[in-house]
Amino acid sequence: MKFFLGAHQPIWLTRVPDIPLLVSHRRLGHRRTLPSAITEWALDSGGFTELQLHGRWETNEKDYVRAVRRYADEIGNLTWAAPQDWMCEPHILKRTGLTVREHQRRTVINLVRLRDLAPELAWVPTLQGWTLSDYQRCADLYDRAGIDLAIEPLVGIGTVCRRQSSADVERIMRAFAARNLNLHGFGIKITGLNRYAEALCSSDSMSWSRRGRYVPGCGPSHRTESNCLRFALSWYRQIQTRLGSAGLTAEGVHPDPLARVA
């Protein structure tokens, strides 16, 4: 299983050659110059924060496509990009004033538009919902739009980050794995991986940063470890160990990532 380390700092793309990274559009969109990646990486759309702050997407599809094309060309090594999907957490629904069904409809429509605008980019369809039946309905919407999830290289499962260790999320993951979908779990941390890592092709998390807020900085340049690359890589090595004990591997991980950081 491939595990993408969530990264606040785009400069990390130039510093860690052996670990796949997940970087948000919100960290890249306003930069005049972009780093040149020496590792593979995936783009998160930053949708959760966008909807939480504004209750809608303020970036239209054409502008998002323009940005992602720039990332693919200038940064390089972009494995895939998340669409401008609509998460379904209760407080997000309250913020948008819309229903789960409407969020799902907009999620599917957005993917179709992005692929029409930029078919050369690797857009990942994302399933959104709250209950298993919600996610199944979202899958049906993709089917009606002419998108066969069974042949997609990767299918994201969203709205799970803050409840990723629950039995409900495990049922959702296993239900779609049983349909032979290649799943990516957004924001799946160690507790979730302990339950259903074998159901996933890949996942990501930056929970190391939340944990690092409560750890004193390892040097005088930072007060806590919430933005420390060494701390992040140490946490990533724990993921590798957990996956190894489950008979899985964090694909692409150097045996000692700390040894590669000067």
Mean pLDDT within 108-119: 99
pTM confidence score: 0.90
pLDDT tens, 204-260? 998 765 665 645 667 666 667 677 788 889 889 888 887 887 677 656 444 443 444
Mean pLDDT of the chain: 90
Full DSSP string of 223-249: SBSTT-HHHHHHHHHHHHHHHHHTT--
Percentage of the chain exceeding pLDDT 70: 87
- Domain covering 2-260 in this structure, CATH number: 3.20.20.105
Mean pLDDT within 125-134: 98
Percentage of the chain exceeding pLDDT 90: 73
pLDDT tens, 132-172? 999 999 999 999 999 999 999 999 999 998 887 789 999 99
**Domain boundaries in the chain?**
2-260
Whether residue 45 has pLDDT greater than 80:
yes
Tell me phi and psi for residue 163, to 5 degrees. Answer: -140, 25
pLDDT at 252: 43
Q: Sort residue 97 into left (φ over 0), alpha (ψ -120 to 50) or beta.
A: left
End-to-end CA distance of the chain: 27
Q: What is the C-alpha to C-alpha distance for residues 88 and 92, in angstroms, rounded to an integer?
A: 6
Tell me phi and psi for residue 117, to 5 degrees. Answer: -75, -35
